[in-house]
Amino acid sequence: MRGRWLAAARKVRELRMVGWALAHTGHPVLAQIVPARFCNLSCGYCNEYDKVSEPVPLEEMYRRIDHLGRLGTAMIGISGGEPLTHPQLDDIIRRMRKTGAIAGMITNGYLLSPERIERLNRAGLDHMQISIDNLVPDDVSMKSLKVLDKKLQMLADFAEFHVNINSVVGGGFKDPNDALVIGRRALELGFESTIGIIHDDSGQLKPLQENEAKVYFEMTHRKKTNYSRFDQFQEEIVKGRPNDWRCRAGSRYLYICEDGLVHYCSQQRGYPGVPLAEYSTGDVRREYLTAKSCSPNCTIGCVHRISYIDHWRSPQTKTISPGGDGAESPKLVQIQIGN
């Protein structure tokens, strides 16, 4: 009964969030924030971790989260590195909830235990995503169903938050059919199941092989829940074709690295590269109307899904080229915004 009540209350908050995002365009819908760059794993395709960084101090995390609250951020997601390596993660989640935001996190799941899950429940976590890449560990990834299945069972037994299991295709994984097995196991345990496409090291398009595409479509055709309803962009990626869309990175979606800088996403670090403490509603509105030259071949799912809210409105009037590969400088572009 408690689990059903929490799920219903969470759904109401999410619907309110969507309604506010549809009515008002001047605030971030999702910010992903990194409290720890360190990771206990070393996946071959990942460039979002190191083995030396110290956790961001708690008071600094509080300052960053409070500023996201002042910007009106609707959802705050914790990523890494591995978030569970931060010794004060529960306090960070509580602070996120205190701003009124929906609180989520992405984890590799290795450090979960019944006691750790109960602490996340008490902290107020709303969503957890675990990416499982294969059935048995290999030289590309240790995030395997063989290792993590007991952790998934713990989540099924104890978690009061929503759990999504994301499997992947592409990126050099040996058997794309692993994704089907992982997806079925997730559904058996009562979790949501989604599938992602591994991008290159700049977040750009990497078309699937025929056998990978077959698995992708089998996964997507058998479920349409929550996040998976907004995966149409991946169908073009599967076919090796660019997407025509309006990327709202830097506005509706923010990525805040361990140094407290705002970036378009994890793969376009340095753009705009502004300290979060200095990021204003004016920056949010400017980036809302700024097209990014990397967007046609982008595969970053969280940016696509959040940008979909505004796909039908507000044509973008200026273009910026992250990485300096276009005619324009990758510096911030000033745009006059009307009322």
pLDDT in tens, 129-149: 999 999 999 888 899 999 999
Q: Give the model's pLDDT for residue 214.
A: 78
Instruction: Read off the tokens for 72.
Output: 């009106």
Residue 165: alpha-carbon gap to chain centroid? 13
Q: Strand 75-80 relative to strand 30-36: parallel, antiparallel, unpaired?
A: parallel
Token pair 């599938």 is at which residue? 195
CATH class assigned to 2-324: alpha beta
Residue ranges covered by each domain of the chain: 2-324
- Please, are residues 60 and 260 in contact by the beta-carbon 8 Å criterion? yes
pTM: 0.88
Paired with 121 in beta bridges are none
CA gap 270, 267 in Å, rounded: 9
Residues 6 or more apart from 200 whose CB is under 8 A from it? 206
Instruction: Read off the tokens for 305.
Output: 């899904």
- Please, are residues 25 and 288 in contact by the beta-carbon 8 Å criterion? yes
CA gap 78, 192 in Å, rounded: 19
**Average pLDDT of the chain, as a whole number:** 87
At residue 336 the predicted structure's pLDDT band, cuts being 50, 70 and 90, is very low
**Exposed e or buried b for every residue in 41-55, given b needs 16+ CB within 10 A?**
eebebbebbeeebeb
CA gap 258, 256 in Å, rounded: 7
Residues 181-207 pLDDT 10s: 999 999 999 999 988 776 555 555 566
Does pLDDT of 299 surpass 90? no
Does pLDDT of 233 surpass 90? no
Q: Would you give the DSSP letter of residue 109?
A: S
- Side by side, the strands of the sheet bearing 272-275 are 192-197, 162-169, 127-131, 102-107, 75-80, 30-36, 253-256, 261-263, 272-275
Q: Give the model's pLDDT for residue 225.
A: 54
Residues 234-284 pLDDT 10s: 778 777 788 899 999 999 999 999 999 999 998 888 899 999 999 999 999
Task: State which H helix or E strand residue 224 sits in.
Answer: none
